[in-house]
Structure 1
Amino acid sequence: MHVTLVSPFDPDPERSHTGEAHVGGVERVFSQLSLNLALHGHDVRLLCSTDGPGRNTREGGVETVRVPRAGTLFRAPLVRLASHLDPETDLVHVPATYPFTTPSVLRAADRLGLPTILDFHFEPELGSLLGQAAAGLYRRLATRTYRRADRVLVNSREYARSIPSLDHVATELLREVPNGIDPDRFHAEGPAEAGDYLLFVGRLVPYKGLGVLLEALAGLEDVPPLRVAGAGPRREALEARARDLDVDAEFLGYVDGDRLGALYRGARWTVLPSVNQQEAFGICLLESMACGTPVVASGLPGVRQVAREGGYVVEPGDVPDLRNRLREALAYEDVPRGPALAERIHDRYAWDAVTERVLSVYEEVLEVAGPSPLEAPPSEEEEPPWTS
């Protein structure tokens, strides 16, 4: 099978000048999925934007085509990736919610007669009035192109039911496929960073809610220091906020590779305090639990489903609730951690299993095989699995 995956930004920050600030969950998921599809023997092309020169490379069986972008607007790349689609590809897999990428790729694939998979990772929510207006316009106009997709992947049905951008998509086209983790990279056995600390992993952008976490920590006594692994446009402001609040926070910049796993393994807890539905899943939660470290996360649709695998949920944006939950977590630590937690996550979310589910949807679209049944997510009232 010849598959083209479209990633808004270059998932490899070493190949761009400032691209590390744009490497988030979508880029990491598409990069790993590309590699796993290649390992399954498929011909894979990863099409992405870059702030460096355009170039093609082939590594790990994946051809990566980098197209220079003119810049970004509302954190979306200004680039014409649709014109670089290969008309000989069997299928195009594109993420939703990128206004200058998603609609044009879906329209171009439709004109070329190429089957498409739309991968819905987050709902657009922007803080400024202009951003809110832009997100609203996108929902009204661009999301109509979602109907061109042959199937739509969602991380969880709970999240899909909560967002307006999928109103134009027939329910029977939705397929639930969670994000995955690489057990060879994220596991409980291995070196751990020294020290007693809490961990935040993610891009330094408003919806990630790091400011909320800093405020919550400011009201706690005898709390471990915070280590922040991530880059983004809010770094200087967040560093200043930590100083103003007298919070012991170390900003590490973008972290990947072996050190990221070591950071997860060494942490007491990993915290994801996201404040709105731009956070639809929280890949860092899976990575942390796969390394044996439990989590505290915002109770957003989709995110809470992941967090309940091994941790606690709090009200999004609620500083007192987050502070109280952190106090409780640090005092009691009554959730599984270490190999027991890691094994559960590997069993459910390893990339091999996730890739098989993606391939089953590809085959369904290409009429090679019929649809495969998908598990329903646990209900909101269901007890977390670690309590049983």
Structure 2
Amino acid sequence: MRILHIVTGLASGGAERQLHLLLRHLPAHQQCEVLALTNPGTVAAALRADGITVHHLGMRGNRDLGALPRLARLVRAGRYDIVHTHLYRAGLYGRLAARLAGVRAVVATEHSLHAGVIEGRPVTRGVKGLYLAAERLGTTTVAVSRQVAQTLHAWGVPQARVELIPNGIDAARYHHPPADRAGTRARLRAELGLPQDGWVIGGIGRLVPGKRFAVLLEALAGLDGAARLVLIGEGPERAALERRADELGVRDRLVLTGERDDVPDLLTALDVLAAPSTEETFGLGVLEGLAAGLPVRHSACPALDELPPGAAPQARRIPSEAAAYTAALRDLRDLRHLCRPDGLGADPLPRPAAVGHYDIVRVAADLGALYDRLVRA
């Protein structure tokens, strides 16, 4: 079975990293290739390192209609059994190109969809109309959470066309034996210029307004000078965050790592994961923090909302306000110092049930079964 995944870009965002992870765990008989409409970033390099063919269409913008016939020709030449699109622009162009090329099974995953927001942008009447027109060209739309599925239904997408398959995490990659973890933690703290015995807060995700990382900068300003903030990711909000850090007087306590493909290792350098976003459709970063054994303070995580309360006892939901994060982070720091007066990093917390529920092996098996059903049909 030949499958082409079409994605808007391959920078190191949540949807892009999720695609990479899925391709590592799909059944062996499902041979996948990836096409990026634009911006083949670090995830493209990682996919190629895994032996996966990556195409780059070189699309110049949302209205580059000349890209459509090129895309259709590539799909037709590849003789794919399934085309699977990811993210809004890829969903528009990819589903139409797949139909023009004669592909009968066309899947799209909705990674970031709310009632009035898609991928961090407001949903206008035109955006919604285009989305629904493209959706009708597909076979199945995959929702990564019940929240996304409910939004699709509210927009008028029939329930029979929606499949709920959540995001997943490679739980095994976040487990470090104690000696290895201590060494990795020390090495990465030195690399990032972090004090070995300091209190380090972390955030994961694209540097975009919806992630609300400025809340963490304001919280950092309310903590003592030994605290540091590490933001793992890249995006258009980088310069604005740097300016805000300057205004708050905490620029020298902020570390921006840029795009990284070693997130499981980077998490060993942290003491707590903070996620102030209020517009999550899944909450992948929260689960990554839990898998790494970190306490987590977050403001939205549909993935946890769909599980019993005891599935992640080390995660606590708090308002997306600087004062709330300052208080919560200070309490965690004081507890850490009470447990470890020497100031050294605490041992990782036990892995909660939520991590096992969203293990990528289970999620990829569900997606593979969907592909098999579509091809048989």
Q: SS where residue 207 of structure 2 aligns?
A: coil
Q: SS where residue 26 of structure 1 aligns?
A: helix
1:1-388 matched pairs, under 5 angstroms: 1-10=1-10, 22-37=11-26, 40-51=28-39, 59-71=49-61, 80=68, 82-83=71-72, 84-86=74-76, 88-98=79-89, 101-111=90-100, 112-123=102-113, 125=117, 132=122, 135-161=124-150, 163=151, 167-189=155-177, 190=181, 191-192=184-185, 193-194=188-189, 195=196, 196-221=199-224, 224-247=227-250, 249-258=253-262, 260-276=263-279, 279-299=280-300, 301-302=302-303, 304-305=305-306, 309=312, 310-315=314-319, 317-332=320-335, 338=348, 340-341=350-351, 344=353, 346-367=355-376
Inter-partner Cα distance in structure 2 for 1:292 and 1:40: 31
Q: Give 1:338's aligned amino acid.
A: P
Gaps of at least 5 residues in structure 2 are 190-195, 339-345
2:230/2:257 contact within 8 Å kept: no
1:110 deviation in Å? 3.0
RCO greater where, 1 or 2, for CA within 8 Å and sep 6 or more? 2
Inter-partner Cα distance in structure 2 for 1:158 and 1:137: 22
Inter-partner Cα distance in structure 2 for 1:242 and 1:269: 20
CA deviation map 1:326-382 (0-9, x unaligned): 344434479x9726216x4552223222110111221222337xxxxxxxxxxxxxx
Inter-partner Cα distance in structure 1 for 2:67 and 2:216: 34
Inter-partner Cα distance in structure 1 for 2:253 and 2:239: 13
Distance 1:78 1:340, change over 3 A: farther
Inter-partner Cα distance in structure 1 for 2:159 and 2:240: 42
1:229/1:252 contact within 8 Å kept: yes
Inter-partner Cα distance in structure 1 for 2:118 and 2:321: 19
Inter-partner Cα distance in structure 1 for 2:217 and 2:244: 8
1:70/1:78 contact within 8 Å kept: no
Gaps of at least 5 residues in structure 1 are 11-21, 369-388
1:36 deviation in Å? 2.5
1:2/1:89 contact within 8 Å kept: yes
1:5/1:34 contact within 8 Å kept: no
Give me the CA root mean square deviation: 3.6
CA deviation map 1:295-353 (0-9, x unaligned): 111225447558963411123x433333333344434479x9726216x4552223222
In terms of fraction of residues, the more helix-rich structure is: 2
Q: SS where residue 44 of structure 1 aligns?
A: strand
Inter-partner Cα distance in structure 1 for 2:249 and 2:21: 38
Between the two proteins, what is the percent identity of the paired residues?
Answer: 23
1:206 deviation in Å? 0.8
Greater gyration radius? 2
Inter-partner Cα distance in structure 2 for 1:364 and 1:229: 38
Q: TM-score scaled by structure 2?
A: 0.77
- Tell me what 1:373 maps to: none
